[in-house]
Structure 1
């Protein structure tokens, strides 16, 4: 299969490890915004990890209510504000967070979905949900970055919801994130193979 441009390649080209496609509304939005190909590749990688996280939740904790669709949408759009603040694709910065929330709202997505553009980097804020935490974890572990503070928050939510043992939940989550992290090099290579700026 041939792809006519770098954005199409980022959205659809095979990867190793394989990356699932982004939800169709997100693909349409990225195309309409002329998103940088590297951003599309990044969103695809984080979304794929989020799919693995929610599948694990469904299997291990089927009684814990998780808004699967919201998590996957959040992972697929968390950095959408970098279509506005493209410098933050290669440099640190947080301007994309509020810009992403505003952009999603302007395109008709409600605050329950637009919020992830802001919450993915502020997991200690009041009102943070398990869905927010899962998107934040996906945005770190896709490249095998482990943040004990963030992971402890997830474990604490699971313990509170199940009454289980902290050490058991910690070990189960650690095992999952270690397995996901094993594919980080391939995801990083895939992302880096695309340009930061969209070319006409």
Structure 2
């Protein structure tokens, strides 16, 4: 990787943003550096990871008895588009080749299947075996750009209502309030990632 690209990639990890964005997990940042990831991908993953932290905090606060693997959610949000290192054209256009390739890339680098799976499953929340962690990663991915997906949100509402015994309408109102607040910062997140090049 050229020193210029390395410098731009470092800024994607560390540059201040408004509102502030939390850093990626160190093992993810190191993997992206070793792969020579596009700076825009690093900025994008950082932005969605930040949304996932807020979602995970909210779930822990609202559902203290709900068993959720917080670390898996944050790792999944931080790596779900990793395959775009192999398919950078999918950073600025449609495509799904990055999904299975991202999972395989994580497996090749020694990450366990339970964590690598999010790269391949973050767009398929309608599966029968979907977990609460899958739903949270998918929600962070969508709300990062303020995209509301009723079917996805309904799955999350049903899962939380089933776990707590509360009424689905009550869970929907709480989730809607959260996603509205998180979505309000989407323009800032999108501007942050757009400031970094797809290729350098």
RMSD (CA atoms): 1.0
Q: Distance in 2 between matches of 1:20 and 1:105?
A: 25
Q: Give the secondary structure class of the aligned counterpart of 1:17.
A: coil
Q: Which residue in the other structure is 1:143 paired with?
A: 145
Match of 2:58 among 56, 59, 64: 56
1:157 aligns with 2:159: yes
Q: Which residue in the other structure is 1:174 paired with?
A: 176
Match of 2:90 among 65, 78, 88: 88
Q: Distance in 2 between matches of 1:180 and 1:120?
A: 19
Q: Distance in 1 between matches of 2:6 and 2:130?
A: 40
Q: Which residue in the other structure is 2:32 paired with?
A: 30
Alpha-carbon spacing, 1:88–1:131, altered in 2? closer, same or farther (3 Å) = same
Match of 2:14 among 2, 12, 18: 12
Q: CA deviation at 1:6?
A: 1.0
Q: CA deviation at 1:4?
A: 6.6
1:69 aligns with 2:85: no
Q: TM-score, normalised by structure 2?
A: 0.96
1:40 aligns with 2:46: no
Q: Distance in 2 between matches of 1:64 and 1:174?
A: 19
Q: Distance in 2 between matches of 1:19 and 1:146?
A: 21
Any runs of at least 4 consecutive aligned residues in structure 1 with deviations exceeding 2 A, and if so which? Answer: none
Q: Distance in 2 between matches of 1:156 and 1:126?
A: 13
Q: TM-score, normalised by structure 1?
A: 0.96
Q: Distance in 1 between matches of 2:31 and 2:15?
A: 18
Q: CA deviation at 1:150?
A: 0.4
Q: Give the secondary structure class of the aligned counterpart of 1:113.
A: helix
Match of 2:133 among 98, 112, 131: 131
Match of 1:99 among 98, 101, 104: 101
Q: CA deviation at 1:126?
A: 2.3
Unmatched tracts of structure 1, length 5 or more: none
**Greater shift in the superposed pair: 39-48 or 119-128:** 119-128
